[in-house]
């Protein structure tokens, strides 16, 4: 992968790719790379794992 080999930001490479942007659009790409979406249940997960017994 070019991002790994050249140590580039993968998101920037995706945003600069005309074919991908034409299919998804920059808003959808930004949404996909939003870490908050992927971490939305982190508090519940930690509470379940590290609950005081």
Q: What is the pLDDT of residues 14-29, one digit of tens each?
A: 999 999 999 999 999 9
What span, in angstroms and rounded, lies between the C-alpha atoms of 16 and 33? 14
Tokens 């995706």, residue located: 14
Q: What is the pLDDT of residue 4?
A: 83
Q: Are 24 and 42 in contact (CB under 8 A)?
A: no
Q: What is the pLDDT of residue 52?
A: 63
Pick 26 or 3 by higher pLDDT. Answer: 26
Average pLDDT of the residues in 33-43: 92
Q: What is the pLDDT of residue 14?
A: 95
Q: Is the dihedral of CA 49, 50, 52, 53 positive or negative?
A: positive
Q: What is the pLDDT of residue 38?
A: 86
> For all residues of the chain together, what is the average pLDDT?
90
């Amino acid at each position: 992968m070019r991002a790994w080999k050249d140590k580039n930001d993968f998101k920037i490479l995706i945003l600069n790719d005309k074919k991908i942007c034409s299919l998804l659009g920059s808003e959808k790409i930004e949404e996909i790379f939003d870490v908050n979406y992927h971490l939305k249940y982190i508090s519940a997960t930690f509470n379940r794992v590290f609950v005081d017994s």
